[in-house]
Amino acid sequence: MRVAIVGAGIAGLACADRLHETGHNITLFDKARGAGGRMSTRRVTTPSGHMAYDHGATHFTARSLEFRSLVDLWHAQGLVAPWPVAGVHAWVGTPSMNAPIRAQANAHDVWWSSPVTALTRDGQDWWVHIEAVRHGPFEAAVVAIPAEQAAPLLSLHDFDMARAAMSVRSHPCWSAMYLFAKPIVTLPDFIRGVGPISYAVRNSAKPARAPGETWVVQSDWAWSEQHLTRDPARVCDLLLSALGEAGGTAMPEPLHADAHRWLFSQPSGREPELLWNDALRLGACGDWLSHGFVEYAWQSGSALGRAIAR
């Protein structure tokens, strides 16, 4: 089958891997310019040179046997490394969080900068709409994007799938990024759940990072909701103060600061691991069909790929 997958995050790529293994022909479409999804890395030019911040998932776990064996393979290829500071099962991409996603994407035909506005069906054929142009035909279509973005694509075709997507609510998260002139020796590398902070991470302390004292500070869901419409500069100020308070230390002026607002960072609400309509050959996968974590997003995509192949 020719299969179109909307979304080249870890779920869409896991689905593509399983389908490719069983001889199907896959094309992925992603609205972003490059690989990562919510495991993205922000690259910026600062007065001290080029810096990279893991401003989405700060780390991920690998507990299940199947995901663990893939992560071990990535480890052997230098794409990930354990980061015990964040927990016994914690891993990070190397030299940046999106490294394993980029490697997975390189193995497939991925169309970047391709925001899909609709999926339509013409007889048995699926067509993927990007701006005013339709691409296809495909014999099956998979939607591997956050629930809120999946709902409109699904609603034209399968009301139950659309309803499942509509019942999920993803939480926002502000992710602030800072570069400092010198190491802040009074802070630990990893802080979890203090005040409005969900995670504060010394990004530069992760394995294989470039020099430069970089930090990523992420606010919890309640704080993020409350400050949803604040401007990024103000968010940077507030989260910098929160970091200082969390560590009981006075924070220096950063050399560079920016903040990214994730509107759909992690979903709450649990549906079955995957959705597949065999009559229409339409499916959905992603963390919203399991739990809002990398490992579960991968499991959902992998399970859908297997279900389609069956």
Residue 57 lies near ligand FAD (rule: CB under 6 A): yes
Contact (CB, 8 A) for 232 and 259 = yes
Closest CA to 217 of 58, 110, 40: 58
Closest CA to 112 of 221, 32, 15: 32
Taking only Cα atoms into account, the Rg of the chain, rounded to an integer number of angstroms, comes to: 20
Q: Between residues 75 and 252, which has the closer beta carbon with respect to ligand FAD?
A: 75
Residue 169 C-alpha from the chain's centroid = 16
Residue with tokens 């069983």: 22
Amino acid at 246: A
268 φ/ψ angles, rounded to the nearest 5 degrees:
-115, 160
Q: CB 269 → ligand FAD: shortest distance, Å?
A: 13
Q: CB 78 → ligand FAD: shortest distance, Å?
A: 21
Q: Between residues 59 and 202, which has the closer beta carbon with respect to ligand FAD?
A: 59
Residue 218 lies near ligand FAD (rule: CB under 6 A): yes
* Span near ligand FAD by CB under 6 A; candidates 57-65, 154-162, 235-243, 270-278: 57-65
Residue 30 lies near ligand FAD (rule: CB under 6 A): yes
Residue 265 lies near ligand FAD (rule: CB under 6 A): yes
Contact (CB, 8 A) for 255 and 130 = no
Residue 197 lies near ligand FAD (rule: CB under 6 A): no
Q: 167: how many CB neighbours lie within 10 A of its CB?
A: 12
Burial class (CB in 10 A: 0-12, 13-18, 19+), 75: middle
Contact (CB, 8 A) for 216 and 177 = yes
* Span near ligand FAD by CB under 6 A; candidates 51-59, 71-79, 184-192, 220-228: 51-59
Contacts (CB under 6 A) with ligand FAD, residues 221-240: none
Residue 59 lies near ligand FAD (rule: CB under 6 A): yes
Contact (CB, 8 A) for 298 and 67 = yes
Residue 149 lies near ligand FAD (rule: CB under 6 A): yes
Contact pick of 54, 158, 213, 287 for ligand FAD (by CB under 6 A): 287
Contacts (CB under 6 A) with ligand FAD, residues 241-260: none
Residue 175 lies near ligand FAD (rule: CB under 6 A): yes
Residue 7 C-alpha from the chain's centroid = 10
Q: Which residues lie near ligand FAD (CB under 6 A)?
A: 6-12, 29-32, 37-39, 56-60, 115-116, 144-146, 149, 173, 175, 218, 262, 265-266, 286-287, 292-295, 297
